[in-house]
Amino acid sequence: MQADDIDDTVKRIAGHRGVLGVIIAARDGMPIKTTMDNTSTVLYVGTAIALFERSQSLVRDVDPSNALQFMRIRTAKYELMVSVEEEYIVVAVQNTKFTE
């Protein structure tokens, strides 16, 4: 993914109603581009990677030939959306008031 592609992706996702933050990070968790402060970025990326890895393990336990590609977790206040590609992880946090 080129720098322009990363910027375009962040702008496109961040432009949706209720989006509080967007993070693009390397698969090792190193942030590449974020619209959030450093503390929130580190917290969300670390949490997203841990959840994704555990969920991926569950998917593989059920069907070893399958792979998790996208994950969406909704809480009372926020919705966390995580997409993982070969080299990148994309995390978006949205206020649930705008997702109904």
CATH number for the domain that contains residue 30: 3.30.450.30
pTM reported for the whole predicted model: 0.86
Tell me how many domains the chain contains.
1
> How much is the mean pLDDT over the chain?
91
Query: Which residues constitute the domain of residue 19?
Result: 3-98
Backbone angles phi, psi at 34, to 5 degrees: -150, 150
Average pLDDT over residues 22-51: 94
Average pLDDT over residues 2-25: 88
CA atoms within 13 A on the CB side of 47: 14
Which strand (E) or helix (H) includes residue 33?
strand 31-34
User: pLDDT tier at 6 (50, 70, 90 boundaries)?
Assistant: confident
